[in-house]
A and B are shown apart, each in its own frame.
Chain A
Amino acid sequence: MNETVSLPLKITVGIILALVVAPLFVPVLMSISDTPYIVFPPQGFTLKWYGEVLANHEARGSFLFSLELATIVTVVSLLLGVPCAAGLTRYRVPGQDAVLGLILSPLIVPLIVTGVALLQVFALMGWRATLMQLVIGHTVVCLPYVIRSVSASLLLVNRNLEDAAAVLGASPHVVAMKVIWPQVRPGILAGGTFCFIVSFDDYPVSMWLADGNHFPVPLYLYTVIERSFDPSIAAIASLMIFFALLLVLVIEKVFGLSLARLAS
């Protein structure tokens, strides 16, 4: 049973994988086309569409705003999520199942509904603070991922190591920093990274809460796709794809996390 994966299966897998990456490659090919409209195969070669996009104020503004928003959301989610995960895994909280159910429920309700529900509440309150509202909306969506990821790594912490350190004279502070932290770090990193990505890519919550001055990248991309047809859209799409590839590299090489772990 060495050959568990047969050749026909390998060929099928190859075809499916080609179909999976095709929609990511085609825009990149089209972005270098020297035509005022989108065409396949691309004709000629030019990088002017990239120049146009990079010089575009709106595009840069949206990108910077999304970075800012995702950073704030990640910090807030970690501040709320890490203690919560610690409380859930290390202490007996009465009604633990109910608490867990509440925390994971934003994963079940469709994002578009979460967004519209928040918009209704904000409207009823008569509260206008777009950035705050976006942060709240994204944090509702991201918090469950952070808590799940950090809880998973906290459950794996070996309690014997803590006891050993304590017996050898380590103070609680030292135990926390030198024994628990190294074991929990990957979970917090994974949760934080995933949180950042979810916030950066969010469309269905932002579409309700954003306004002209606070306009995240996904919304910007959507409006561009709706209103123009030249290859500059393909260029933006390609830039987003390169950005994602960069993220994959950073996650795998710098953080030492595998993608599979992030998605689990």
Chain B
Amino acid sequence: MSHTESIDVPERVTPHVTKLRANAKAGAFAQRTAKVWELATGTRMAGYLLVAPAVLFLAVWFVWPVLTMVHLSLTSRVVEGVSVEGFTLENYVRLFSSDLYFRILLRTVRIALLTSLFAALFAYPLAIAIARGGPTLARLVTITILAPLLVNVVVRSYGWQTILNKTGALAWVLKMFGISNPPVLLYTEWAVLIACVHVYLPFMVMPIAGAIGRIDRSVEEAARVAGATRLAVLMRVMLPLSLPGLAVGASLVFSLSAAAYVTPQILGGNFSPLLGTLIEQQILTLNDWPFGAAISTLLIALVLASNLIFLKLVSRRFARWTAGAR
């Protein structure tokens, strides 16, 4: 019995065996591919290969153009359009020696500084509400602050135009209060300032809210228990400890408003141009590429300097305070 069966079995099982063999082969193949995959992904090469496309892309389409522009700013202009002749600082000299251009530079720095200042003033109450308020309040403030970021900057600037217009909402409100001849704000630096504060406020609120959120609540409670008023807690505990957030926010807002183009154009018109407008005029209207490149390079320098100053200044002070606290 058992003998015949042992002869029978292979015949019945044969298809299964071939299937198993095929499976084993497939398994070995899968294992081999896994090995290759591991080899490919486990080595240093894999890291390079993954990073390379993005790095190459940015090197070609960001680093190269910016360097070319800096180089162009050091050349002089031949009659029309682009020129790459000789080395000269004349574009920079012109930028600082001409009264007109220098005034635009000063206005840009002034508006960027004032925007940072007012944004910080408005941002603190909001940031405290986000970091220390209940979940409902925090969520409401966060969404109301961030949602306008999704609205195009042209639309947001236009919104201020409809408010500051002669027949706009502000004039109407002021008339209700009996001021029949309100000051015209549209197409002044004030209008640019107001709109810039509005447009860049979120970039101030979020870092400060983050910094306040990281402050240990027990520090504030300790100050309260020790008899500090709410104002004292705000000025002497919250404000100093949230300075890193303020520094990040201020450098962001300064950089963004110094380089703003749309908002000053829509609200300041041709009466208070900033550096951005100047670049646009020099390149698209006057076709003076080297001078436009010089203004652009100056704008980069301005932004880098502001970042360095805000962040360095605060980190040094901060280091001193925390060292004193120990």
Contact = CB atoms under 8 A, between A and B. Distances in A.
Given A27-B159, A112-B259, A203 B151 contact: no
Contact of B58 (A23, A92, A140, A245): A140
Contact of A260 (B146, B168, B195, B292): B146
Contacts of A218: 152-154, 262
B147 A245 contact: yes
A103 B262 contact: no
A264 interface: yes
B61 interface: yes
B168 A40 contact: yes
Interface residues of B, number: 95
A244 interface: yes
B132 A106 contact: no
B82 A120 contact: yes
Contacts of A17: 126, 140-141, 144-145
B262 A222 contact: yes
B314 interface: no
A106 to B, nearest CB: 5
Given A16-B122, A116-B283, A143-B57, A23 B159 contact: yes
Contacts of A10: 129, 137
A187 B44 CA distance: 25
A227 B149 CA distance: 25
B223 to A, nearest CB: 11
B65 A110 contact: no
B129 A9 contact: yes
A207 B221 CA distance: 52
B304 interface: yes
Contacts, number: 272
B51 A121 contact: no
Interface in B68-113: 68-69, 72, 82
A234 to B, nearest CB: 7
A17 to B, nearest CB: 5
B161 interface: yes
A83 B54 contact: yes
Contact of A81 (B54, B145, B152): B54
A122 B201 CA distance: 35
Given A84-B51, A99-B55, A112-B259, A222 B168 contact: no
B259 A5 contact: no
Interface in A217-264: 217-218, 221-222, 225, 233-234, 237, 240-241, 244-245, 247-248, 259-260, 262-264
**For chain B, what secondary structure do more than half of its interface residues adopt (helix, strand, loop), or is it mixed?**
helix
Nearest to A144: B58
A37 interface: yes
A212 interface: no
Given A26-B163, A94-B44, A233-B158, A20 B201 contact: yes
Contact of A121 (B68, B145, B147, B262): B68
A237 B48 contact: no
Contacts of A177: none
B129 A13 contact: yes
Interface stretch (B2-10, B17-25, B242-250, B295-303): B295-303
- Interface size class of chain A, counting residues whose CB lies under 8 Å from the partner chain: 35 or more
B169 A40 contact: yes
Nearest to B59: A102
A221 B158 contact: yes
Nearest to B127: A13
A139 B162 CA distance: 33
Interface in B109-145: 122, 125-126, 128-129, 132-134, 137, 140-145
A102 B55 contact: yes
A13 B62 contact: no
Nearest to B161: A225
Contact of B49 (A9, A87, A92, A247): A87
A127 B306 CA distance: 35
B180 to A, nearest CB: 15
Most buried by A among B50, B128, B167: B50
B206 interface: yes
A263 B209 CA distance: 13
A140 B53 CA distance: 12
B255 A110 contact: yes
A137 to B, nearest CB: 8
Nearest to B68: A121
A16 B198 CA distance: 10
A27 B149 contact: no
Nearest to A246: B150
Contacts of A39: 167
Given A4-B133, A84-B51, A264 B162 contact: no
Contact of B296 (A27, A116, A171, A197): A116
Contacts of A5: 128-129, 132-134, 137
A138 to B, nearest CB: 11
9 contacts: A13-B126, A26-B169, A83-B53, A88-B47, A112-B259, A116-B296, A118-B61, A120-B69, A203-B261
Interface of B: 30, 34, 37-38, 41, 44, 46-51, 53-55, 57-59, 61-66, 68-69, 72, 82, 122, 125-126, 128-129, 132-134, 137, 140-156, 158-163, 165, 167-169, 171-172, 195, 198, 201-202, 206, 217, 221, 224, 230, 255, 258-259, 261-262, 265-266, 276, 279-280, 283, 289, 292-293, 296, 299-300, 303-304, 307
